Amino acid sequence: MSLKDSIESVKNDFLTEFASINDSTGSESIRQKYLGRNGLVTNLFKELGRASNDDRPVFGHLLNQLKNELSEKINSIQAEDRTASDNELVDIALPGKLYSSGSTHILEQTFNDIKKIFSDIGFSISYGPEIDDEYHNFTALNVPEHHPARDMQDTFFVDKDIVLRTHTSNVQIHLMEEKDPPLRFIVPGRVYRNESISYKSYCLFHQVEGLFVDKSVSFAQLKGCLEYFVKKMFGSDCKMRWRPSYFPFTEPSAEVDIWDEQRNQWMEILGCGMVDPEVFNSVNYDPKIWRGYAFGMGVERIAMLKYGIEDIRLFYGGDIRFLRQF
């Protein structure tokens, strides 16, 4: 029998056996018989070496064609079997799985509330660098080198004069360098301080800075603005008080407290004051013409007071039991 006749004979025998195959077990058995290491098709390839030089390419093409055809038929049976098996595992009459959807983090919710309140009274929103030079973070804010006020803030230094900003007040300087007055902006963002981590302090937290510069800005306007904010954020019945304070970039300066019924004590929520004339000199604003006020508030502190949260570390722990409450 010639090699060509042998190829036809193996093909016919395969088709006859294949017609009776109906599962993957039978298809694997027939694969081994025809395409395995000692299979019938494999043995035909071994006989190819005895063909003449003229016939070898023709027979080689026929053998490859046979091998591919047999493989496709066997694979089709196994694929159908897998699909049928998968379908048996799915009961289409059952309701689908309910996957819980994510939600906005409580800090982002608080950010959004703060931004909404100030946007409603004419403040624009700006952002600035979290890594900045000492000039914008300290010096231009009337905190020169060796000034005692620098000891109030434990700073992360990236390089000799490059820092992770310790407050969002650095953006005040960038805004006034880039824009002509009048200005009315709030600046939300992260700040960093090298502090011990505890229930009330963390190495990073969030602030919202406010800056208003115009020709006739007064401390009374500052009080009215922040009283409006407190009532909107904590409710119209919220009690608040003002205390004199000190910040190198504002004069006079004050801190604002609200009464916390849960703790039965006054709690600080922000610092503020009139922009110091030296800050205006740093950005080439004429302090004889322009006046302004600034304020800065801690977002974590506000969220903790508003929602009765006792530990600042909960904001960063990723505990779904905590986050799901909001």
Domains in the chain, CATH or no CATH each = 3-88 (no CATH), 106-323 (3.30.930.10)
- pLDDT of the residue at 32: 81
- More confident of the two residues 23 and 109: 109
**Pairwise pLDDT comparison (221 vs 261), residue with the higher score:** 221
Beta partners for residue 184, in sequence order: 212
Residue 128 pLDDT > 90, yes or no? yes
The answer on pLDDT for 20 being more than 80 is no
- Which pLDDT score is estimated for 270? 95
Cα–Cα nearest to 24, from 87, 88, 76, 71: 76
pLDDT value at residue 189: 94
What pLDDT, in 10s, does the model give residues 182-219? 999 999 999 998 888 887 788 889 999 999 999 999 99
**Rounded CA gap, 48 and 230, in Å?**
92
According to the model, what pLDDT value does residue 136 have? 93
CA-closest candidate to residue 108, choices 206, 225, 5, 247:
206
Q: What percent of the chain has pLDDT over 90?
A: 50
Using the predicted structure, report yes or no on whether residue 170 has a pLDDT greater than 90: yes
CA–CA separation, 153 vs 142, rounded Å? 14
Residue 314: pLDDT band with limits 50, 70, 90: very high
pLDDT tier for residue 23 given thresholds of 50, 70 and 90? low
Q: Assess contact for 294 and 226: CB atoms under 8 A.
A: no
pLDDT tens digits, 80-127: 656 555 555 667 787 877 877 778 999 999 999 999 999 999 999 999
Q: What percent of the chain has pLDDT over 70?
A: 91
Amino acid in position 231: K
User: How many CB atoms are located within 10 Å of the residue 4 CB?
Assistant: 13
- Pairing status of strand 131-133 against strand 250-260: unpaired
Task: State the pLDDT at residue 209.
Answer: 95
Name the helix (H) or strand (E) containing 214: strand 204-214
pLDDT for 30-89, tens place per residue? 778 777 777 787 787 777 777 777 777 787 788 788 788 888 877 777 666 565 555 556
**Looking at residue 34, what is its pLDDT?**
77
Query: In this structure, are residues 257 and 266 in contact, taking their beta carbons and an 8 Å threshold?
Result: yes
For the chain, give the mean pLDDT. Answer: 86
The Cα 274–Cα 292 span in angstroms is: 6
Are the beta carbons of 99 and 287 closer than 8 angstroms?
Answer: no
* pLDDT: which is higher, 325 or 41: 325
Give how far Cα 75 sits from Cα of 23, 33, 44, 245, Å.
11, 15, 21, 81
Per-residue model confidence (pLDDT) at position 83: 57
For residues 151-158, give the mean pLDDT. 75
Distance CA 189, CA 165 (A): 10
Q: Confidence class of residue 249 from pLDDT cuts 50, 70 and 90? A: very high
